[in-house]
Structure 1
Amino acid sequence: MAMFLLNETHPAVFILLGIPGFENVQCWISIPFCCMYIVAFFGNCFILFIIQSETSLHEPMYFFVSMLSVTDLVLSSSTLPKMLSIFWFDCREIHFEACLTQMFFIHSFTAMESGFFLAMAFDRYVAICKPLRHSSILSNNTVLVMGVSVVFRAVVLFTPHPFIVKSLFFCQTNIIPHTYCEFMAIIKISCGDASVSKDYSLTVASMIGAFDLMCTVASYTLILRTALSLPTREAGAKALSTCTSHICVILVFYSTAVFTFLTHRFGHNIVPQIHITIANIYLLVPPMLNPIIYGIRTKKIRQRIMAIVLFTVE
């Protein structure tokens, strides 16, 4: 175990325990985690390849899907390789600077994912409620501005996190009972009163999540009202069918996100194994499911996949 001098403000390295209490079965736990990462990595790369190579998919909806795929690739790749090295090779050390970098990528790209979900909800709202103005409202420049705004918001709001950790003192331990460098897990092992830092992080996360979720719900409320007002039931069902893939990935993302947030805020009695497992699912399952759901539920992407498969077979 790496040690550090007590007179230093922070250790040279942290020790990631993995999932405390599950040390004897972590090798088995790594199997589904590894499978999820493989699906997430190659699935999102495939989605990006399809959208980039097919000019008919160069539309706002698919541009946002591309942004989401890039976010998923970064998010899963920021956590899984190190996590698997802990489970397989007992490689638990992570340098202080690398830990801060991983922490920043995890929190900022999670915020980006939430922002891109909102952007996609807005795209569906315009496509269904204002179809004649879709191309004028969501021009390529507008899509670019929306994407840059999502990235800018996440970077600005989560850049203070590494500096906050650097300002903390670690006088007792450098052991993080987690599979990755999570801000709250690092805060808990610091010395002194870190309540302000904790409140800042939870406030930023809750504000981003609440704002994006409320705007997304508002968009789909308007979409539902428009769909129900269409002259035929078939037309309404067809309009809503274009939203099903997006609704599925939103439900997966926000259900695990809300649970993780509530455990930090109120769930002090929840055992660490459950909290850490859910935190891992929060970062791994959406990146894995997003390409699957969009590949199956989105007609144009599905048709392109089938064309590639048939061409390969022939």
Structure 2
Amino acid sequence: MIPVPFDYLRPSTVDEAVAALGEADEGKILAGGQSLLPVLKLRLAAPTLLVDLAAVPGLSGIRLDGDTLTGTTLVIGAMTTHAEVAASDLVRQHAPLLAAAAGTVGDRQVRHRGTLGGSLAHADPAADLPAVAAALDATYVVRGPAGSRTIGAADFAVDLFTTALGPDDVLVEVRLPSTAGWAVHYEKFHRTAQAWAIVGVAVAVRRDGGGIGAARVALTNMGPVPHRARAVEDALAGAAAAPDAVAEACSRVADGTSPADDLSGSAEYRRDLARVLTARAVCRALGV
């Protein structure tokens, strides 16, 4: 399969990329290319210009912003690969849920080419990392014609394969409040090791004595955008760290979701799967 003809630009600055996108009839950003290239080959997208960010300095890397553990923010450049995220000691300490989920993305080749920013901006509802970013209250730093601005995770994904990014915006970095010390687990069900998740669950819990002090829960592939299960989070807070209590708190995790009804499974199957996987993920995070 051959893409439609397009122009190619390899800018050296973010501002150059923004300007080029603004002048293009239909511009697309090339980050890792693991999602975009198949779409181009299938002609599901027909850009007139492809803007390759590989030569732009400062778009990759992982650092901390903050002097103390309380209030520390983890900052990850948009062009940082999944493999780099999964292997980073900083990510493992301050966003262990993201590190765990990044290590499950695709296969080894995809993880070494695909980027965090590319996955988040592509906004595939079956992708693993958008739900993780939602669970961790990520903030997206975006550069556009009017300069830089931030977008909260709750407002970033707006529909199927659609985000709050404008046609000439570039996602620069992702900022995550530290969840150091939280117990985490990313659970997903898929038919083969490299397939998209039929349902995925991102969980982070903070213990409080023998119970649960706070919880973060978000679902993958249970609607056009990641679903943050706030009611389940409220039910888990204060619950005992025991399987029966966890199962009860997670029993209505599918409320408010709109899963697909397709060849991979019915909507009702996905709802039941979400209930099972969420309780399993919380229990595995807690070690009970």
Normalised to the residue count of structure 2, the TM-score between the two structures is 0.26
Higher-strand-fraction structure = 2
Higher radius of gyration, 1 or 2: 1
Instruction: Give TM-score scaled by structure 1 length.
Output: 0.24
Instruction: Answer 1 or 2: higher relative contact order, Cα 8 Å, separation at least 6.
Output: 1
